[in-house]
């Protein structure tokens, strides 16, 4: 345990940080960091990267103060996309093998006996060092200054800072892995990372079960910490509606417009619209556009919007759709529940399906195009059912995702493990 002036100094580690950064894990980190400043001396260690796709250093390196928090920015090493792809290609076979064993139901047994996966490990560690978010300067800082901090809280197992924080200071680390059932989660280097991390705080029981199935004995002590939400003040609806040319009635999807987040939602929507030509409502996609979908009747794209604009658009939606396969919690679902907006989610995501079950029907799910069309039609046609869902959703949110509950869990971990 740290002593003296370092007793309450903690550092969050995240790939990107700052206002205007669009991403669930980044938002999660920011909300937690700002809520811990009354009890701890909080810092954030992050890269100079702004665009997660390009990995370019757009922010200046050095220190800045953001809403009372010291933010230390470190440049990502310049690797280049061709170099990154080359190392990723060499590392893929081991990751694919682990994923294949997981799908066959064998990996949990193997991981319980051999927690650290050694075949292909060297190539995967090389890939970590040659990824777009790798910062040798950040790694050196953590190694040389780790004794100045009581603990590190590191986000997102997908990226290099997670792995190298575990390597340099795993015994002082709380991991918030935001783990998904995606191929990236099966890289061998993560078995090393989790074997060194002191405590892992998952967002949901479904995510925790997934972590245990993938990493077995490598996963040390863990529990549920979770996350609350921070609703923005909504902008004037008439102004927002006119600015983006939005319809009076619509379903809404919020998040990056790319294949990993929006999935098949546009093709599913087209089938729904074709099946219900007279009653189909428009679909509004809100978020930065990385993969522009084909022009589709009834489809509206706003691009990136401010938090106030997003809140206003959410409050006036008939229902929210989350089509993502990869969620560890889904803040946008919680935001919808807060505003009593019914939610329809991708049932092939274990985390989202678990929300449906635990909420007692406050959230519904679909598993394919036919399901999507059927559930959307039923929800939009039954106002009474929507009101019931809205009431149950608000209760589910307040019972499981209040900030008092989340912060009490985190304070307990920090005070008893570090």
Which of 117-131, 258-272, 281-295 comes out lowest in average pLDDT?
258-272
pLDDT over 80 (residue 344): yes
Count the helices and strands in the chain (H runs, E runs).
17, 14
Tokens describing residue 66: 């953001």
Do the strands 62-66 and 69-74 form a parallel or antiparallel pair, or are they unpaired?
A: antiparallel
Phi/psi at 257 (nearest 5 deg)?
A: -90, 85
Question: How confident is the model over 173-192, as a mean pLDDT?
Answer: 96
pLDDT over 90 (residue 37): yes
Q: Per-residue pLDDT tens for 399-410?
A: 999 999 999 999
Query: Global pTM?
Result: 0.91
Which of 60-74, 116-130, 214-228, 265-279 comes out lowest in average pLDDT?
265-279
**pLDDT category of residue 287 using cuts at 50, 70 and 90:** confident
- Choose between 257 and 131: higher pLDDT: 131
**pLDDT category of residue 371 using cuts at 50, 70 and 90:** very high
CATH class of the domain whose range is 4-228+403-417: alpha beta
pLDDT over 70 (residue 19): yes
Domain boundaries, the chain: 4-228+403-417, 237-400
Do the strands 283-286 and 251-254 form a parallel or antiparallel pair, or are they unpaired?
A: parallel
pLDDT over 80 (residue 5): no
Q: Do domains 4-228+403-417 and 237-400 have the same CATH topology?
A: yes
Give the whole-angstrom CA distance, residue 354 versus residue 358: 6
Q: Which fold has domain 237-400?
A: Rossmann fold (3.40.50)
Q: What is the pLDDT of residue 55?
A: 86
Q: What is the pLDDT of residue 1?
A: 43
Q: What is the pLDDT of residue 395?
A: 92
Q: What is the pLDDT of residue 259?
A: 66
Give the whole-angstrom CA distance, residue 326 versus residue 404: 27
Q: Per-residue pLDDT tens for 224-268?
A: 999 999 999 999 999 999 999 999 999 999 988 876 667 689 989
> Which 3-state string (H, E, C) describes the chain?
CCCHHHCCEEEEECCCCCCCCCCHHHHHHHHHHHHCCCCCEEEEEEECECCCCCCCECCCCEEEEECCEEEEEECCCCCCHHHHHHHHHHHHHHHHHHHHHHHCCCHHHHHHHCCCCCCCHHHHHHHHHCCCCCCHHHHHHHHHHHHHCCEEEEECCCCHHHHHHHHHHHHHEEEECCCCCCHHHHCCHHHHHHHHCCEEEECCHHHHHHHHHHHHHHCCCEEECCCCCCCCCCCCHHHHHHHHCCCCCCEEEECCECHHHHCCHHHHHHHHHHHCCCCCCCEEEECCECCCCCCCCCEEEEECCCHHHHHHHHHCCCEEEECCCCCCCCHHHHHHHHCCCCEEEECCCHHHHHHHHHCCCCEEEECCHHHHHHHHHHHHHCHHHHHHHHHHHHHHHHHHCCHHHHHHHHHHHHHHHC
Q: What is the pLDDT of residue 261?
A: 64
pLDDT over 80 (residue 15): yes
Q: Please state, as a whole number, how many other Cβ atoms lie within 10 Å of the Cβ of residue 184.
A: 15
Give the whole-angstrom CA distance, residue 270 versus residue 275: 9
Residue 217 has what DSSP assignment? G
- DSSP readout, 369-401? HHHHHHHHHHHHH-HHHHHHHHHHHHHHHHHH-
Give the whole-angstrom CA distance, residue 319 versus residue 304: 20
Residue 348: CB partners within 8 Å, gap ≥ 6? 325, 367
Q: What is the pLDDT of residue 349?
A: 93
Tokens describing residue 305: 């919007």
Question: How confident is the model over 263-281, as a mean pLDDT?
Answer: 89
Question: How confident is the model over 287-315, as a mean pLDDT?
Answer: 90
- Choose between 23 and 205: higher pLDDT: 205
Q: What is the pLDDT of residue 2?
A: 46
Question: How confident is the model over 147-163, as a mean pLDDT?
Answer: 97
pLDDT over 80 (residue 22): no
**Residue 238: enclosing H or E segment and its boundaries?**
helix 237-244
pLDDT over 60 (residue 129): yes
Average model confidence (pLDDT) for the chain?
Answer: 93
**pLDDT category of residue 4 using cuts at 50, 70 and 90:** very low
pLDDT over 70 (residue 3): no
């Amino acid at each position: 345990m740290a002593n003296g002036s370092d007793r309450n100094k903690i550092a969050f580690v995240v790939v990107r940080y700052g206002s205007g950064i669009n991403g669930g894990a980044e938002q999660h980190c920011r909300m937690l960091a700002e809520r811990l400043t009354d009890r701890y001396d909080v810092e954030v260690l992050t890269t100079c990267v702004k665009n997660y796709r390009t990995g370019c250093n757009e922010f200046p390196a050095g220190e800045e103060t953001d809403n009372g928090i010291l933010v230390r920015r470190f440049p990502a090493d310049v690797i280049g996309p061709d170099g990154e792809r080359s190392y990723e290609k060499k590392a893929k076979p081991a990751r694919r093998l682990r994923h294949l064993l997981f799908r066959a139901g064998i990996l949990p047994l193997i991981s319980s006996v051999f927690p650290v996966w050694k075949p292909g490990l060297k190539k995967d560690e090389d890939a970590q060092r040659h990824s777009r978010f790798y910062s040798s300067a950040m790694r050196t800082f953590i190694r040389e200054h780790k004794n100045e901090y009581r603990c590190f809280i590191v986000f997102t197992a997908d990226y290099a800072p997670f792995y190298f924080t575990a390597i340099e200071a795993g015994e002082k680390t709380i991991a918030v892995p935001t783990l998904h059932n995606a191929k990236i989660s099966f890289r061998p280097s993560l078995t090393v990372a989790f074997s060194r991390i002191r405590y892992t705080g998952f967002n949901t029981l479904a995510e925790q079960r997934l972590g245990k199935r993938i990493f077995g004995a490598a996963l040390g002590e863990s529990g549920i910490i979770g996350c609350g939400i921070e609703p923005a003040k909504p902008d004037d609806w008439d102004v927002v509606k006119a600015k983006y040319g939005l319809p009076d009635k619509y379903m809404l999807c919020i998040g990056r417009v790319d294949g990993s987040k929006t999935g098949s939602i546009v093709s599913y929507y087209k089938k729904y619209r074709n099946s219900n030509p007279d009653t189909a409502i428009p679909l509004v996609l809100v978020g930065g556009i990385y993969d522009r979908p084909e022009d589709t009747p009834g489809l509206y794209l706003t691009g990136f919007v401010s938090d106030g604009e997003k809140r206003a658009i959410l409050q006036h939606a008939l229902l929210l759709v989350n089509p993502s396969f990869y969620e560890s919690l889904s803040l946008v679902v919680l935001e919808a529940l807060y505003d009593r907006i019914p939610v329809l989610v991708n049932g092939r995501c274990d985390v989202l399906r678990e929300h449906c079950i635990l909420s007692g029907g406050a959230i519904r799910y679909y598993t394919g195009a036919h399901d999507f069309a059927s559930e959307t039609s039923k929800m939009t046609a039954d106002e009474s059912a929507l009101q019931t869902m809205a009431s149950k959703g608000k209760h589910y949110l307040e019972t499981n995702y209040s900030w008092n509950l989340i912060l009490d869990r985190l304070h307990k971990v920090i005070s008893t493990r570090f």
